[in-house]
Structure 1
């Protein structure tokens, strides 16, 4: 019979000292081989990260690694932690530390690239505990994940049924006007194709002939026109994720896509037809009720 997470946690803390932390504020990478070579090989390595997003990579994991998330921003603004294990995750189990106990999040050989989210609104800083598994083939052992700290309002997957359902409903006029101000990306374009993934319960919207007004990362890329071909010009192209239950279908015309970005993926928020949005925005602009400026072209 395997020990419970609480017994594992108490056993590790009883036998081990926490080593000094090391990080570059957002990301950390290290090896368990150097730690095991030290005289005190029972030390639990501790890492403190101070950003709202980043990554952790631990090659040849040995003993245990404790990752504490301590963002410089107010904790009241970020109440959910999401992690996405690397595809090559192999060699350790992942636990979430809560009030002196460990809750198992993912075992070795679990589903890589699945997003795991958990609340982090307690008095203690959120901590992720990686416990190395008994060594087998050392040449294939590496664990790592990307992390994000999110606020209450998000369209990220796996955050609760109410959020998932809310992301499918049409946005009202106020939400549309606010979306162009606060979204991670604002893109004008056409729907080229929609594909579905039954396993992830998501749909992927391919956007082409676009214009990017804003994006947080490089989700949308510029495609240059073909030299010597009349009428050929550069445009933006990218993919937006949404939920399968939203039943997104290809449609003609231009849309204004807005939403959030998580782990390098764009997630759909409000997506009105461009002409409908411009009519709404021009009316709000004339009445001086627009919350932020948007190009009128």
Structure 2
């Protein structure tokens, strides 16, 4: 009886040793993680848990073997946080894996290996599941590295890309005044050039900024055509591109992976008229120095 018990326990250890879940490797700041598939040794079916708890960070997995489950969560989870989305941007050299969304064991494809190499950005709701990153079995893994950046963004950015009708809708008065208070950047200037990117199906406009009200990070840099100016670029869907013009435009938008994305924009004269009317009525959501 004792021998049978020993053999049974040995069999269980063999089975679970071939497909096991190991403890996560925590980074010092819980924002970024770097690991290696070589730690799995011969256990090519190991699944490792990773926990990242920042609004943005990165992951780098060298020599991928087995799989890792990446749990992305804000430090404080609340009803508002449940409406967040996660956007993932692979590095150009990312390879060796396929990425899925894992919700209670159900896997949904998110980024295939060839899509990672193309640098495609994918977004999903934070409650849609964790990232399940599975290594593609290969005899030689020495040149394989899976790497990406991630950001937690507001629910307005959920999905890969809005339809042209949604992306290019004109902001009304209330939406524009709110955008001035809440967006990552607010600037006043002109469009100096337009560049189309057919591969990414988007357009970048170069802008000359002569009044910078706010920017979350330094997207617009000093050194425009004239003194005390800033310059930079803003991206948007190709269908929404603005034309080169001397018109004074108020630009607002969000930042994703250090890139400015267009939000609400209108002629500055129209904004000024709306803003002053809201001031008289006491309905403007925040103050902006228009002097």
Query: Which residue number in structure 1 is paired with residue 12 of structure 2?
Result: none
1:92, 1:108 within 8 Å by CA — same for their partners in 2?
yes
Go from structure 1 to structure 2 and tell me whether the alpha carbon gap of 1:224 and 1:201 turns closer, same or farther (over 3 Å shift): closer
Q: Which structure shows the bigger proportion of residues in helix conformation?
A: 2
Work out the CA distance in 2 between the residues paired with 1:179 and 1:148: 20
Higher strand share: 2
For 1:20, which of 10, 18, 24 is the aligned residue? 24
Aligned to 2:70: 67
Distance in 2, matches of 1:21 and 1:138, equals 21
Residue aligning to 1:6: none
Could you list the per-position Cα deviations for residues 243-288 of structure 1 after superposition, in whole angstroms to 9, with x for gaps in the alignment?
A: 1122432222221100111122211111111122122212222332
1:114 paired with 2:120, answer yes
Question: TM-score, normalized by length of structure 1?
Answer: 0.82
Aligned position for 1:291: 285
Q: How many residues align?
A: 273
TM-score of the pair, normalised by structure 2? 0.84
Post-superposition Cα deviations, 1:79-137, rounded to whole Å, max 9, x if no partner, equal: 43221111111111111102212222222233531111223335xxx311111123455
Q: Is 1:101 equivalent to 2:106 in the alignment? A: yes
Matching residue of 2:57: 54
Alignment of 1:155-194 (within 5 A): 158-161=160-163, 164-194=164-194
> In 2, distance between residues paired with 1:55 and 1:246?
31
Asked if 1:29 corresponds to 2:31, the answer is: no
Secondary structure at the residue paired with 1:117? strand
* RMSD, matched Cα: 2.6
Name the CA distance, whole Å, in 1 between partners of 2:20 and 2:97.
Answer: 18
Contact 1:17 1:42 in 2 (8 A): no
- In the aligned structure 1, how far is the partner of 2:17 from the partner of 2:104? 14
